[in-house]
A and B are shown apart, each in its own frame.
Chain A
Amino acid sequence: DAGITQSPRHKVTETGTPVTLRCHQTENHRYMYWYRQDPGHGLRLIHYSYGVKDTDKGEVSDGYSVSRSKTEDFLLTLESATSSQTSVYFCAISEKGGANYGYTFGSGTRLTVV
């Protein structure tokens, strides 16, 4: 997807290991979001950022931390991966605050915790 890149695209990791997912944008958008998508649940917000070093929790933040040291990068860390964190993770960006402005999503990271 133009302007937003997620890495890695796929990852298999063992229970108990830390994992970091990266979201990189070239749009210079202020707002960045991490979602997870699971069958039957839709998209659920994990954490979001409204500026460099400014982050806040979403509805499913337990077991996750984030960092944003530069406008273009938003990192999601699973501190000690569990099987319940097997999911597809999406990063999204928006130019302005307010969910009504619409998001641009990355292509996702498919994470499997074994």
Chain B
Amino acid sequence: QKEVEQDPGPLSVPEGAIVSLNCTYSNSAFQYFMWYRQYSRKGPELLMYTYSSGNKEDGRFTAQVDKSSKYISLFIRDSQPSDSATYLCAMSGTSNYQLIWGAGTKLIIKP
């Protein structure tokens, strides 16, 4: 079993819909949770960062962490075709240099 599980998709939704992307994890020591967005043929870019449990909002994006369920989510409101990309979750515990990554979910927003 992988430490971080993420549905690869693709997830296809119409423009304007609310998108929910999720990851589950097994290591209760994880404290830092990140979402990266990766466009085709590009490197990942940091989208959201959350420490421990709770919600964090940034514009149309909301990151949610439920440590009791070992489950993190990224919500995208009013989705746009430009949001079409692969979304990677990543997390780490007390180790300074090791991020553990999900395999990514491919998101397609249809105009």
**Cα–Cα distance between A33 and B4 once the two chains are bound (Å):** 20
Residues of A within 8 A of B46 (CB): 102-104
Chain B CB within 10 Å, residue with most, of A40, A59, A100, A102: A100
Contact status B42-A48, CB under 8 Å: no
**How many A-B residue pairs lie within 8 Å, measured between CB atoms?**
70
B8 touches A (CB below 8 Å): yes
**Cα–Cα distance between A107 and B39 once the two chains are bound (Å):** 10
B25 touches A (CB below 8 Å): no
A-contacting residues of B (Cβ < 8 Å)?
A: 4, 6, 8, 31-32, 34, 41-46, 49, 51, 88, 90, 92, 95-99, 101-104
B-contacting residues of A (Cβ < 8 Å)?
A: 1, 31, 33, 39-45, 48, 50, 56, 58-59, 90, 92, 97-100, 102-108
